[in-house]
Structure 1
Amino acid sequence: MISHDAIVSDPESLNNGIKPSVLTFSGSDSAGLAGMQMDVKVQHALAVHCTSVLTAVTAQNNQQVFAVNAVDSAMFRAQIEAVSVFRPKAIKTGFVASEAQAQQIIAVRQRLKIPLICDPVGAATSGAELHGKRNTDSHRNINRLLLAHCSLLTPNIPEAQSLVGFDIETAKDLRRAARALVEIGAQAVLIKGGHWQYADHMGLDFFYSPEEQFWLQNEPVDTPHTRGTGCALASAIASAIALGYCLKDAIVIGKMAITQGLHNAKGLLAKSVRYQDVRYQDTHDKQRYQDTHDKQIKELASFDTPELTSEQSLRQQQSQLNYQDTHDKQIKELASFDTPELTSEQSLRQQQSQLNYQDTHNKGGVEILCFPATQRSLPGLYIESLMATSELSSLVLQKQENPFPGIGDESLGLYPVVDRAHWLDTLLPLGVTTIQLRIKDLTGQSLEEEIKRAVEIATRFQCRLFINDYWQLAIKHGAYGVHLGQEDLVAAAQNESNPIKQLLEAGMRLGISTHCHYEVARAHALKPSYIAYGPVFATQSKDMPWVPQGLAGLAYWQKLLDYPVVAIGGIDHERANAIHGLGVSGIAMISYITQAENPIKVTKSLLRALAL
């Protein structure tokens, strides 16, 4: 049965003059590094419009939160009413200031019946709590209200711990937490591993839904500029959904966008160390300074009182002396900044202070500039059910360090897919150098004989023969490689004999069929010899739930992937010429050759065209 969830974005939907939008609920960040400011930037970078409803105004920078003021209920409702004229494709929530706001967001979601991506923000990246101690509506209560209506919840480790009420230290804990959040009400959960003990060397996130569980893994990016990553990820996922991608594809796209954004991230120019040393050494010094001098100002104001007791007068004079002493000292310190000569100890302290200042004050935010477009941002995707044990070591062991052998310097070229060995006798003498044997109607001895014969013919013509699916027979008879579809991949990974390892040890090449971001990420985890992508155009060869991506979709993957790319799906002579111009390594054809009135004539014509 074809699932709608398999459908990826329709490129034509982006060309109808309508820009998709995301209804976004989040707080304002005065530093512009997170919250609504980050949401707007990310959604704009991914070609989506952000309609915004502010939940709170925060005074914060890249070190601390100074104040949080929730938007009053009348203004909150007015914002919702104002943007209700638009038709968003998804809802994204960040910081929600109260249970009343959460209830109104739920009501909006129920009316619109569109996906809700919830980033359960409870603290700034600096660690400061956004729900103050005086706020009776806690982070836990607010987000538990939203949980039952979430299409996807995207907590980090501390946020997940807050929601489930236990510590997350092991992979088993992580799975338990994700399952608990779904049991509470979320349709699916993506727990971000950036705060986890494995994050420094693994770059892991964990997805959980009742139907499927998987890990996403990128090589960690060494940068201190990580502000706003949670906001950015949720916004990127919501944007991808608004563009028409299914949830699993949107998650991979979001992960890619964050990784690319971390590579692009830069610091912010901060004030000099002198400004820091005198006026803002740290939060506590500033607060003590403010408390002391506010008190002194009040006491100074009392000088205008005409009648004072002798005791009041004495206290007033002493207060004035204390105030004068404090400010004289500050003036002397300020004056010392212009002193050209410093002792070695003073100079060292000043230099260290400046370094510390730069480390904390220059910290910037993740910088997503465009739709993800590089392979280094592409995560490897590991299906949870395929892991042998309950601990993370199984994933580490499954992570494939060595890639499959390459296809050599010569491109794959015209790549016929045939169902019998006799086609090799027909096509290889014409100059075909790559071919796939895809048999679906034979078993047992007849199947093996057909594969054995095909290998013999391919060897005679020095042709690269890929056997579809039957990896054991391919190894046994010495084929050049094996091609696996996505269902074949799952079956192979569940096989206790570890077919992927056996193929590697046998020196076989591996090609993998893909149709979307999710499947490309799953293929990338295995580091194959090539990746086939399609359908490029509508095809009658097999029933597919995926929207054809056209030349634009194929060009995207050809540019993004470092692997050789093979185009497949609905390709004829004219389309083959256009595809060839994109620089793909191979052009796979099934019915256009095998069902042609004159297969030899068609093949010769294609070979001539692709040789130009």
Structure 2
Amino acid sequence: MTKKPIIWTISGSDCSGGAGIAADIKTGHGLGVEVCQLISANTVQNSQQLLSVNSVSIDILQQQAALLMTDKPPSVIKIGLVANVAQVKWLVQLLEQLKQKMPTLISVYDPVGQATVGGSFNSLTLAQLRPLLQDVDVITPNLLEAQSLAQLAEISDAERLAKKIYDDFAIHSIIVKGGHSEIALDSSDYCYHQLNQLPGKQDNQDKTQAAISYQLTSKRIASHYSHGGGCSFATALSAFLAHGYLVRDAFTLAKAFINQGFNASEPVSKLYGHQYYGAFEQQGWPYQAAFFPQAVDEVSKKYQTLPAFNSLNLAGKKLGLYPVIDSLYWLKRLLPLGLEIIQLRIKNLALADVEQVIIEAVFLAKSYDTRLFINDYWQLAIKHGAYGVHIGQEDLQAADLFKIQQAGLRLGISTHGCYEFLLAQQLQPSYLAIGAVFPTTTKDMTGQIQGLNNLTQVLALRPNNNITQIPVVAIGGINLVRAAQVVATGVESIAVVTAITEAKSSYNISPEQVVEKLQKIIG
């Protein structure tokens, strides 16, 4: 047991057990967070109808919040049913007070208006909700709710709706769930996210980019056991944010969690057809690749017809130790050691000097069986016949993957979390890198440290097919002490930088001895 993150859910109680507080508690406990609940209203409803909504007084809610703050402060607050104007005003005041004490607190609002079985949960106007909408960090409307918030009833384009909601309310992250679309064969969710705006989060290394969108698509699963699905999505998102995931990865995991639940109830739903409207089936943390959505962006659309890149032709061997070095000195020193792969990452040189280093590096490597990858300089790698090129996420959009493949080069791609891993996997590269596993001194990876558990989870997202499985390299903060733990996750290769180049100062042994020790650990 470890101490769990704490989330608060402020929502209505559904006496039928499907939605609201009941769904929030089941979801939160299944995803490893502690859930404190403040009931905003007691509803009278079943699977057929909503009879009444009975709001809880502000005095009771305030007493609960004040007492909980003394020993169970939240990292995330999830808001669902808001019953009246008085509760809106109280929530705005509460959020402002808590954020002064806890600047990293994240608030997630799942707007609840109409019940699926018919009837309204409140009569609040958009004007009355505006103060709350302007105060929350993340909002998760379904398509119908997004149309209402954007005041664009005839528009079903999630991107347009999300951007209109942002223009009107400046909410940092807007996730429009597409599950209520009646005509689409797929369920597509869209997130419009203001980078680096979410409290306590650093979402992207590109400081010039103000906003980004994420789109996830899954095959629609027909299930009549969907009561509380929207509540469960928002609470799952809150739980993953509480665990420290970035928005893009929390979004991806929440989508997988919903797919997993619908899949579990699909057989019984088919058995009973339309006879019964059942509660959504919370299944705990999603691990299986089959439940994860397809990530869609401009790069994946551009290269959707691109064939797989050439394999590394390992002939059954492990990729093994993967040194990342920055000079010809280190390349000359490591090439004779029988390594399967080395990456040359050149920094702080003029382009003319970079080209000369690459020319010499490619010439040197051809005398050995070591696969030499050039970091980022894909045009020069093509020009001078390198074995492969490694592209970081920040440079992937600018690279021409068609030209890289036509030249016969192998391709490696950096990823940081499940969202980027799913995207990059679709490009069918020669290998994928995932990191940073641990904090590292070679690059600012704030907000993107994966850890061993997340590394293990990401490895499970590869297709369960040995023929098409892409080798994965773990990178970031790996040294002699940590290497065995990383290898135990099942990763095919570990990339190291300072473990070799700073061997003398770190371990009082030579770089060659460190290479030998690491190779034995990998096996």
* Distance apart, 1:264 and its partner CA: 3.0
1:606 counterpart residue number: 518
Q: What residue identity is the alignment partner of 2:33?
A: V
Q: Distance in 2 between matches of 1:187 and 1:436?
A: 38
Residue 69 of structure 1 pairs with residue 68 of structure 2: no
| Residues 267 and 108 of structure 1: CA distance in aligned 2, closer, same or farther (over 3 Å) | farther
Q: Distance in 1 between matches of 2:132 and 2:426?
A: 34
Could you tell me which of 107, 115, 120 is aligned with 1:130? 120
| Residues 56 and 107 of structure 1: CA distance in aligned 2, closer, same or farther (over 3 Å) | same
Q: What residue identity is the alignment partner of 1:156?
A: N
Residue 147 of structure 1 pairs with residue 146 of structure 2: no
Structure 1 length normalisation: TM-score?
0.71
The 8 Å contact of residues 268 and 363 in structure 1, kept in 2 or not, is answered as no
1:567-609 deviations in Å (ceiling 9; x for gaps): 2222223322332233211111112223434333332343344
Could you tell me which of 403, 415, 436 is aligned with 1:535? 436
| Residues 218 and 506 of structure 1: CA distance in aligned 2, closer, same or farther (over 3 Å) | farther
Could you tell me which of 434, 445, 451 is aligned with 2:341? 434
1:255 counterpart residue number: 255
* Distance apart, 1:49 and its partner CA: 1.6
| Residues 368 and 501 of structure 1: CA distance in aligned 2, closer, same or farther (over 3 Å) | farther
Q: Distance in 2 between matches of 1:141 and 1:361?
A: 39
Q: What residue identity is the alignment partner of 2:107?
A: L
1:539-559 deviations in Å (ceiling 9; x for gaps): 333343247554444333334
| Residues 206 and 439 of structure 1: CA distance in aligned 2, closer, same or farther (over 3 Å) | same
Residue 89 of structure 1 pairs with residue 75 of structure 2: yes
Residue 47 of structure 1 pairs with residue 46 of structure 2: no
SS at match of 1:253: helix
The 8 Å contact of residues 379 and 525 in structure 1, kept in 2 or not, is answered as no
Residue 212 of structure 1 pairs with residue 211 of structure 2: yes
Q: List 4+ stretches of structure 1 deviating above 6 A.
A: none
Q: Distance in 1 between matches of 2:65 and 2:444?
A: 43
Q: Which moved more, 1:32-41 or 1:221-230?
A: 221-230
Residue 159 of structure 1 pairs with residue 145 of structure 2: yes
* Distance apart, 1:44 and its partner CA: 0.6
The 8 Å contact of residues 221 and 266 in structure 2, kept in 1 or not, is answered as no
Q: Distance in 2 between matches of 1:365 and 1:216?
A: 26
| Residues 527 and 168 of structure 1: CA distance in aligned 2, closer, same or farther (over 3 Å) | farther
Could you tell me which of 64, 71, 87 is aligned with 1:101? 87
* Distance apart, 1:102 and its partner CA: 1.7
1:194 counterpart residue number: 179
1:179 counterpart residue number: 163
Could you tell me which of 478, 500, 515 is aligned with 1:593? 500
Residue 450 of structure 1 pairs with residue 362 of structure 2: no
Could you tell me which of 379, 388, 397 is aligned with 1:481? 388
1:93-143 deviations in Å (ceiling 9; x for gaps): 1122212222222222122113210111112334x2323xxx6x3364554
Q: What residue identity is the alignment partner of 2:438?
A: F
The 8 Å contact of residues 221 and 259 in structure 2, kept in 1 or not, is answered as no
1:369 counterpart residue number: 283
1:515 counterpart residue number: 416
Q: Distance in 1 between matches of 2:84 and 2:128?
A: 6
Q: Distance in 1 between matches of 2:240 and 2:520?
A: 40
2:202 counterpart residue number: none
Report which of the two has the higher share of helix: 1
* Distance apart, 1:413 and its partner CA: 0.5
Q: What residue identity is the alignment partner of 2:387?
A: Y
1:324-349 deviations in Å (ceiling 9; x for gaps): xxxxxxxxxxxxxxxxxxxxxxxxxx
Q: What residue identity is the alignment partner of 1:182?
A: Y
Q: What residue identity is the alignment partner of 2:53?
A: N
Q: Distance in 2 between matches of 1:458 and 1:523?
A: 27
SS at match of 1:96: coil
Q: Distance in 1 between matches of 2:172 and 2:18?
A: 29
Q: What residue identity is the alignment partner of 1:190?
A: I
Q: Distance in 2 between matches of 1:365 and 1:509?
A: 48
Residue 203 of structure 1 pairs with residue 188 of structure 2: yes
The 8 Å contact of residues 123 and 130 in structure 1, kept in 2 or not, is answered as yes
1:293-326 deviations in Å (ceiling 9; x for gaps): xxxxxxxxxxxxxxxxxxxxxxxxxxxxxxxxxx
In structure 1, the gaps of 5 or more residues are 1-13, 270-354, 388-394
1:359 counterpart residue number: 273
SS at match of 1:573: coil
The 8 Å contact of residues 59 and 66 in structure 1, kept in 2 or not, is answered as yes
2:239 counterpart residue number: 239
| Residues 483 and 69 of structure 1: CA distance in aligned 2, closer, same or farther (over 3 Å) | same
Q: Distance in 2 between matches of 1:112 and 1:241?
A: 17
Superposition RMSD in Å:
3.1
* Distance apart, 1:398 and its partner CA: 5.6
Higher relative contact order (CA 8 A, sep 6+): 1
Q: What residue identity is the alignment partner of 1:232?
A: S
1:300 counterpart residue number: none
SS at match of 2:8: strand
* Distance apart, 1:436 and its partner CA: 0.8
* Distance apart, 1:235 and its partner CA: 0.5
* Distance apart, 1:38 and its partner CA: 0.9
SS at match of 2:404: helix
* Distance apart, 1:51 and its partner CA: 1.3
* Distance apart, 1:92 and its partner CA: 0.8
Q: Distance in 1 between matches of 2:360 and 2:413?
A: 23
Q: Distance in 2 between matches of 1:476 and 1:204?
A: 41
The 8 Å contact of residues 187 and 220 in structure 2, kept in 1 or not, is answered as no
In structure 2, the gaps of 5 or more residues are 100-104, 196-209, 464-469, 505-509
The 8 Å contact of residues 144 and 163 in structure 1, kept in 2 or not, is answered as no
Instruction: Pick the structure with greater CA Rg.
Output: 1
Q: Distance in 2 between matches of 1:25 and 1:195?
A: 24
The 8 Å contact of residues 501 and 511 in structure 2, kept in 1 or not, is answered as yes
Paired positions, count: 487
Q: Distance in 2 between matches of 1:400 and 1:123?
A: 42
* Distance apart, 1:468 and its partner CA: 0.6
The 8 Å contact of residues 186 and 220 in structure 2, kept in 1 or not, is answered as no
Q: Distance in 2 between matches of 1:551 and 1:78?
A: 40
Q: Which moved more, 1:257-266 or 1:97-106?
A: 257-266
SS at match of 1:195: coil
Q: Distance in 2 between matches of 1:365 and 1:404?
A: 44
| Residues 426 and 51 of structure 1: CA distance in aligned 2, closer, same or farther (over 3 Å) | same
SS at match of 2:185: helix
Q: Which moved more, 1:108-117 or 1:179-188?
A: 179-188
* Distance apart, 1:54 and its partner CA: 1.9
The 8 Å contact of residues 267 and 363 in structure 1, kept in 2 or not, is answered as no
Q: Distance in 1 between matches of 2:442 and 2:472?
A: 20
Q: What residue identity is the alignment partner of 1:129?
A: G
| Residues 410 and 204 of structure 1: CA distance in aligned 2, closer, same or farther (over 3 Å) | farther
Q: Distance in 2 between matches of 1:529 and 1:68?
A: 58
